[in-house]
Amino acid sequence: MQRQRLTILGSTGSIGTSTLDIVRQFPERFHVTALSCRNRVRELAEQIQEFRPQMVCVGTAEQAQWLVDHIVQEDLQVVYGEDGLVHVAAEAESDLVVAGIVGAAGLRSTYAAVEAGRNIALANKETMVLAGELILSKAASTGSIILPVDSEHNAIFQSLVGHRSEDIEKIILTASGGPFRDTPFSEFSKITLQDALRHPNWEMGNKITIDSATMMNKGLEVIEARWLFDLPVKQIEVVIHRESIVHSLVAYSDGSFIAQLGLPDMRTPIAYCLAYPERVPLRVPKLNLAEIGKLHFEPVVPEKYPCLELAMQAAHCGGAAPAVLNGANEAVVEAYLQGQIHFLDISRILKAVMKHYVNQSDSLKILSFSDAVREDVPNAIRSIDDALLADQWGRQQAAGLLQ
Ligand code: MG
């Protein structure tokens, strides 16, 4: 069997290192041809030595030079910056591009891979949040297949196999509830950054861990699901499930609920995408139901998680609203991680940005959309530039309020 060639964007992050662990387990099956990282160049150098890719991308020219000076692999092509990333995504010899970059920073490269007709294992949810409709129509025209890595979407994807989409009543995304699921709202004013970074079930990067604490992560996932599974927001529900064993469910019209279960380990959904439609005998800790004993489900308390509501509203509103919210959230979470604001300020600032967006959306349209001179000014994302402009507008508004 021909080994599957993999491009891994964001190879030193949480998704990237999990993917490489799978490659390490199945060297006869997978083979890395390209890697990228933004900052951790020393880790990337170790990955290059182990996996011998043909092409790598780093953040800056200086980092690229450092790699060239330190790596003795003659045929290695080193590129850098966003252009380099787009080049790697579209040009590296590859059967599957693992899009593991966090945030809006992953949008252009993911789009470039879709444009080039590459199959994608999509972990970068912002791609769908910022430009879901655009990405899907491009994928339909180039034949690019998008496989969802995000554990919830991967679970839904698996639960849809063999079923007709017209029989779906709703999909239910499970949420751990993050570190504050048992904290009464009255005590939220005492939350510290260290508390927020302590996720009960998953080990992830800092940005997504904070998004889990606010449940913005779940909100972005609702938007992602809306596009990936082509369902209106009203057919998407969120339930708190503290064990993170049921990764999500599909409810069908005859009363059947189909779910995917497993221990919270990202290697399982990543391996499903890598081997799709087959499965590999992955060495991961396996679920023991008798040991788990009980599974709990409870409703979301809206007052504790205003960010979820904001994202649902943005999803409902459509157009540029999700991109604006995402940009603002990335700026605000960054400020929070740097200790500039309190946990409760995250949702306060985002609410203010979205309120301003709704009031100002006419002027935003004129600022943002290339064809704003037309009479029917679109409140839609028609290009990657539109998506990034809307995201940028959200960031700027948040930055103004952070001052
Ligand atoms: Mg998830």
Question: What are the structural domains of the chain?
Answer: 4-149 (3.40.50.720), 153-299 (no CATH), 319-402 (1.10.1740.10)
CA of 220 from ligand 1 middle (Å) equals: 9
Taken as a whole, the chain contains a residue count of 403
Burial string for 345-370 (b: 16+ CB within 10 Å, else e) reads ebbebbeebbebbeeebeebbeebbe
Question: What is the share, in percent, of the chain residues with pLDDT greater than 70?
Answer: 95
CA of 152 from ligand 1 middle (Å) equals: 5
DSSP string for 173-198: EEE--GGGTTS-GGGGGG--HHHHT-
**pLDDT(372) > 60:** no
DSSP string for 214-272: HTHHHHHHHHHHHHHTT--GGGEEEEE-TT--EEEEEEETTS-EEEEE--S-THHHHHH
CA of 273 from ligand 1 middle (Å) equals: 15
CA of 178 from ligand 1 middle (Å) equals: 12
In this structure, of 21-35, 201-215, 319-333, the range with the lowest mean pLDDT score is 201-215
Using pLDDT thresholds of 50, 70 and 90, give the confidence band for residue 95.
very high
CA of 321 from ligand 1 middle (Å) equals: 21
**pLDDT(155) > 80:** yes
CA of 150 from ligand 1 middle (Å) equals: 5
Using pLDDT thresholds of 50, 70 and 90, give the confidence band for residue 318.
confident
CA of 285 from ligand 1 middle (Å) equals: 19
- Give the span between the Cα atoms of 10 and 59, in whole angstroms: 11
**Residue 200 contacts residue 178 (beta carbons within 8 Å):** yes
Backbone angles phi, psi at 121, to 5 degrees: -100, 105
CA 376 from chain centre, in angstroms, equals 32
CA of 168 from ligand 1 middle (Å) equals: 21
**Residue 313 contacts residue 325 (beta carbons within 8 Å):** no
- Give the span between the Cα atoms of 205 and 50, in whole angstroms: 23
- Distance spanning both ends of the chain, measured CA to CA: 58
CA of 324 from ligand 1 middle (Å) equals: 21
Mean pLDDT of 362-376: 39
CA of 402 from ligand 1 middle (Å) equals: 28
- pLDDT of 365 reads 47
Using pLDDT thresholds of 50, 70 and 90, give the confidence band for residue 74.
confident
Question: Per-residue pLDDT tens for 22-33?
Answer: 999 999 999 999
- pLDDT of 195 reads 94
Backbone angles phi, psi at 266, to 5 degrees: -65, -15
Using pLDDT thresholds of 50, 70 and 90, give the confidence band for residue 379.
low
CA of 343 from ligand 1 middle (Å) equals: 21
CA of 302 from ligand 1 middle (Å) equals: 19
